């Protein structure tokens, strides 16, 4: 351990079934935080609220204070808690995390009119539709292919004056974009309370009033009020939930309304097209990397 280190990290590899016990063990031994990442590049957007991982093989990073002697701890890691134990702690200098973000996130043009701009740089094109959005706890900064494909489709095809549902709104990025592109009413829905808060905060920062973009949990009465009234429904979730949500999403739409679904991989498209076939004829509208966007009109 370097004497100058402010923090130190231990990197473990574990199977998903071991993660909870390893986390508990590390916290009991003084870890200040434990973060989880995909070890094997297995695509998955994020776990649902309260869900445990995730990927089969997980990389755990445990953060400890810099002054702690972690050698005894490393000698005591129960072998049944991980598949790979670190040989040594990695010293970490105290970084200003906002600076790391500032280095990573830059203004991003998506489609013709939309720019997603972090707050720390002035929008490069003041005449564009600039959506101010900083990375936060809720998913959706525009950098993920699934979000980018939805934004491009909204930018290209959403006529003004429409009623739009952003189901699985996360940061609220799609709903905010729809409102700024001229939708008259937008409903945001998410089952994660953190996403509701993030969407509301982001909408206000983008001068989208609460009344123009209410954001609610799925069981809220507003979702019932919107039955059969949405001209567009956009949902960027994951293949499994998209199949399960088919009756909910299609019941929100007017006949002839447009549905956009993202969050699925190319080889998952067929199952989703089939699940929606009774109500909407979907086809692949876009593909970016291994992700596809499905689009179609309600019968």
Ligand X SMILES: C[S@@+](CC[C@H](N)C(=O)[O-])C[C@H]1O[C@@H](n2cnc3c(N)ncnc32)[C@H](O)[C@@H]1O
174 near ligand X (CB under 6 A): yes
Is the bond preceding 218 in cis, omega lying within 30 degrees of 0?
no
Long-range Cβ pairs for the range 272-280 (8 Å, 24+): 272/239, 272/242, 272/243, 275/242, 275/243, 275/246, 276/246, 276/250, 279/246, 279/250, 279/253, 280/250, 280/253
Which range in 17-25, 85-93, 101-109, 186-194 contacts ligand X by CB under 6 A? 186-194
Q: How far is the CB of 261 from ligand X (least distance, A)?
A: 11
Interface with ligand X in residues 86-105 (CB under 6 A): none
Enter the tokens of residue 293. 């966007």
Q: How far is the CB of 102 from ligand X (least distance, A)?
A: 21
CB 107 within 8 A of CB 95: no
Sign of CA dihedral 135, 141, 144, 147: positive
Interacting residue with ligand X among 30, 48, 124, 161 (CB under 6 A): 48
Which range in 4-12, 20-28, 97-105, 138-146 contacts ligand X by CB under 6 A? 138-146
User: Quick one: 71 or 137, whose CB is closer to ligand X?
Assistant: 137
In whole angstroms, what is the distance from residue 51 CA to residue 71 CA? 32
45 near ligand X (CB under 6 A): yes
153 near ligand X (CB under 6 A): no
In whole angstroms, what is the distance from residue 203 CA to residue 58 CA? 34
Q: What Rg value do the Cα atoms of the chain yield, rounded?
A: 22
Phi, psi of 22, deg, nearest 5? -65, -45
164 near ligand X (CB under 6 A): no
Burial of 76 (0-12, 13-18, 19+ CB in 10 A): exposed
User: Quick one: 136 or 241, whose CB is closer to ligand X?
Assistant: 241
In whole angstroms, what is the distance from residue 47 CA to residue 191 CA? 12
158 near ligand X (CB under 6 A): no
Using CB under 6 A as the criterion, what x/- string covers residues 242-281 for binding ligand X? ---x-----------------x------------------
The greatest distance separating any two alpha carbons of the chain, rounded to the nearest whole angstrom, comes to 68
Which range in 15-23, 73-81, 85-93, 165-173 contacts ligand X by CB under 6 A? 165-173
Which range in 116-124, 183-191, 273-281, 287-295 contacts ligand X by CB under 6 A? 183-191
Q: How far is the CB of 137 from ligand X (least distance, A)?
A: 10
169 near ligand X (CB under 6 A): yes
> Looking at the chain, how many residues does it have?
299
236 near ligand X (CB under 6 A): yes
List interacting residues with ligand X (CB under 6 A): 45, 48, 138-140, 147, 150, 166, 168-170, 173-174, 189-192, 195, 218, 236-237, 241, 245, 263
């Amino acid at each position: 351990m370097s004497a100058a280190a402010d923090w130190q990290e231990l990197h473990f590899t574990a199977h998903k079934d071991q993660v909870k016990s390893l986390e508990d063990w590390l916290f009991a031994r003084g870890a200040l935080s434990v973060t989880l990442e995909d070890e094997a590049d297995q695509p998955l957007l994020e776990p649902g609220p309260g869900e445990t991982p995730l990927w089969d093989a997980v990389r755990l990073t445990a953060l400890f204070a810099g002054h702690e002697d972690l050698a005894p701890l490393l000698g005591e890691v129960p072998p049944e808690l991980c598949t790979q134990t670190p040989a040594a702690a990695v010293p970490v200098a105290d970084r200003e995390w906002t600076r790391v973000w500032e280095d990573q996130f830059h203004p991003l043009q998506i489609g013709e009119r939309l720019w997603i701009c972090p707050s720390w740089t002035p929008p490069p094109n003041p005449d564009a539709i600039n959506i101010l959005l900083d990375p936060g706890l809720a998913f959706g900064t525009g950098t993920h292919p699934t979000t980018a494909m939805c934004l491009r489709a909204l930018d290209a095809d959403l006529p003004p004056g429409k009623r739009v549902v952003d189901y699985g709104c996360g940061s609220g990025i799609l709903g905010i974009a729809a409102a700024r592109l001229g939708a008259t009413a937008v409903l945001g829905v998410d089952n994660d309370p953190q996403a509701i808060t993030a969407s509301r905060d982001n909408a206000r920062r983008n001068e989208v009033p609460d009344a123009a973009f209410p954001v609610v949990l799925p069981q809220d009465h507003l979702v019932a009020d919107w039955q059969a009234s949405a001209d567009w429904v956009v949902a960027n979730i994951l293949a499994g939930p998209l199949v399960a949500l088919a009756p909910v999403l299609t019941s929100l739409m007017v006949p002839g309304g447009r549905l956009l679904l993202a969050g699925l991989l190319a080889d998952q498209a067929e199952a989703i097209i089939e699940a929606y076939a009774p109500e909407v004829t979907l086809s692949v509208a876009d593909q970016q990397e291994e992700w596809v966007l499905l689009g179609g009109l309600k019968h």
